[in-house]
């Protein structure tokens, strides 16, 4: 934490000193969230128009892969030179990626744009996390991260419907071009605060090894998501090689003992990845299920995402109001339990073809569970990180998030293709079952998130 943040100690995150910074950072997070929801809503239409249905899952996994590299660059760069250059460069790359996607004439060009966009979005999130730690006093961190969590879901109030309506009336291209236009004023709002950040005089070197490992991890993720395009015999070899490379590459990018669920920060990082993957594994295929099996329009298929986002925002607000009245461990376990319930509703909807209201109610509970636990991961990791670890540990949170989600998308994408695609309910059942297995694993290791002395 910087001396400036301690000395000013404003009354709140919306005080005069930090108003523009808070609004600008929350807006940038919100735009990234809108884009994510927009892709989920419009991708069934995009894949049909660009004849890229076989690359459906890769369109989601590609930015997750390059975000791994962006996060490592950003974490290392923030520890070396501070968050200022990281936030500026990554915001620019994010906007360029959106422009490429928004003007893409083919699925190949769209995937290229998604790669660029993923690098920028992964880096900007890490940069903003570190910016929070240097700009605000520690007592305001929970409020800022609660705002970030709300920003991830508030676009869900209108985002899916807006994206679907724009797609139906004007074309899906304008969904992404519009997001670029919104990014400009959001970035302008944080520029004055970027100038106020203290200069970094440390001698943290560039970690070329970690950057190379992040590239290897990204390559493994992309390879996993190409399984549906490969012969079965080749797919088996690719799976084995990719999993080995990914496991080896992730070790230096995450805190020690993360893959073994070490107590404290390692398990918090692991849980962030597992619950995020379980959520994404269901979220990506819900609009597709409603469109293919229930004849929902693009705008109507976003209704489940909307109600899930509303409940996520409500839960994030509730976390701030409850304070310490619910322990961190209890909050994490309650959240995971609700995610499990929601994913079970998705499995049952696809398996039994019940009324879609079952899925909508279930995903509302999932959204509430995510909002109830997600801010806790960032707050606790920053609380227990040293001054020279914040960049690394912040990037580790988002790396675990992206890597886990990309692996789950690879598994669901392969299962989806092998089981007949959108016309066969069994394909959706398999996708949601993978997400359920990941959520249950998160519940099993959640007890190791909080050291006993921390309560």
CATH number of 13-198+206-454: 1.20.1250.20
Q: Exposure string (b/e) for 323-360, b if CB count within 10 Å is 16 or more?
A: eeeeebbebbbbbbbbbbbbbbbbbbbbeeeeebeebb
Write down the pLDDT at residue 1. 42
List of residues 6+ apart from 95 with CB closer than 8 A: 120, 180, 183, 184
Whole-model pTM: value is 0.71
**Where do the structural domains in the chain lie, given as residue ranges?**
13-198+206-454
Backbone angles phi, psi at 386, to 5 degrees: -75, 170
Write down the pLDDT at residue 198. 76
| CB < 8 Å & 24+ apart, contacts of 290-293 | 290/356, 290/359, 291/44, 291/422, 292/44, 292/422, 292/423, 293/350, 293/353, 293/422, 293/425, 293/428
pLDDT tens, per residue, the chain with 455 residues: 444 444 444 467 888 888 898 999 998 988 888 887 778 778 878 888 888 777 777 787 788 788 888 888 888 888 888 888 899 999 999 999 999 999 999 988 998 999 999 899 889 988 898 888 888 887 888 788 878 877 776 676 677 778 888 888 888 889 899 889 989 999 999 998 888 887 776 667 777 888 888 888 888 888 877 766 667 677 778 878 888 888 888 888 888 888 888 888 899 999 999 999 999 888 888 888 888 888 888 777 777 777 887 888 788 888 877 777 888 888 899 999 999 999 999 999 999 988 988 999 999 999 999 989 888 888 888 788 776 677 788 778 878 887 888 788 888 887 887 787 777 889 999 999 999 999 999 999 998 988 876 54
């Amino acid at each position: 934490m910087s001396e400036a943040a301690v000395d000013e100690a404003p009354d709140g995150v919306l005080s005069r000193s930090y108003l523009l910074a808070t609004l600008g950072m929350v807006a940038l997070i919100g735009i990234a969230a809108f884009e994510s929801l927009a892709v989920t809503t419009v991708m069934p239409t995009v894949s049909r128009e660009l004849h890229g249905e076989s690359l459906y899952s890769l369109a989601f996994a590609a930015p997750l892969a390059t975000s791994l590299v962006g996060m490592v660059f950003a974490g290392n760069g923030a520890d070396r030179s501070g968050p200022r250059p990281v936030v500026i460069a990554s915001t620019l790359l994010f906007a360029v990626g959106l422009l490429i996607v928004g003007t893409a004439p083919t699925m190949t060009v769209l995937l290229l744009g998604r790669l660029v966009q993923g690098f920028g979005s992964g880096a900007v999130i890490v940069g903003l996390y570190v910016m929070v730690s240097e700009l605000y006093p520690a007592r305001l961190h929970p409020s800022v991260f609660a705002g970030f969590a709300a920003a991830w879901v508030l676009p869900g109030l209108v985002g899916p419907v807006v994206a679907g309506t724009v797609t139906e009336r004007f074309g899906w291209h304008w969904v992404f071009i519009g997001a670029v236009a919104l990014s400009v004023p959001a970035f302008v709002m944080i520029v004055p605060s970027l100038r106020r950040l203290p200069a970094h005089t440390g001698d943290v070197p560039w970690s070329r090894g970690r950057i190379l490992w992040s590239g290897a991890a990204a390559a493994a993720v992309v390879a996993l998501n190409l399984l549906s395009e490969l012969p079965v015999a080749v797919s088996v070899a690719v799976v084995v090689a990719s999993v080995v490379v990914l496991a080896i590459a992730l070790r230096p990018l995450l805190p020690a003992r993360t893959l073994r669920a070490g107590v404290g920060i390692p398990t918090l990082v692991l849980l962030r990845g597992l619950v995020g993957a379980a959520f994404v594994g269901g979220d990506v295929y819900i609009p597709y299920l409603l469109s293919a099996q229930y004849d929902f329009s693009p705008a109507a298929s976003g209704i489940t995402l909307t109600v899930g986002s509303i409940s996520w925002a409500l839960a994030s607000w509730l976390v701030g109001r409850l304070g310490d009245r619910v322990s961190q461990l209890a909050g994490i376990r309650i959240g995971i339990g609700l995610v499990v319930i929601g994913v079970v509703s998705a499995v049952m909807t696809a398996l039994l073809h019940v009324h879609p209201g079952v899925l909508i109610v279930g995903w509302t509970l999932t959204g509430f569970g995510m909002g109830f636990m997600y801010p806790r991961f960032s707050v606790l990791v920053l609380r227990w990180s040293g001054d020279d670890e914040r960049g690394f540990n912040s990037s580790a949170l988002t790396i675990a998030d992206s890597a886990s989600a990309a692996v789950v998308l690879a598994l669901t994408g392969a299962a989806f293709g092998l089981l007949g695609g959108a016309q066969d309910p069994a394909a959706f059942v398999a996708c949601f079952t993978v997400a359920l297995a990941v959520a249950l694993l998160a519940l099993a290791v959640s007890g190791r998130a909080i050291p006993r002395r921390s309560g």
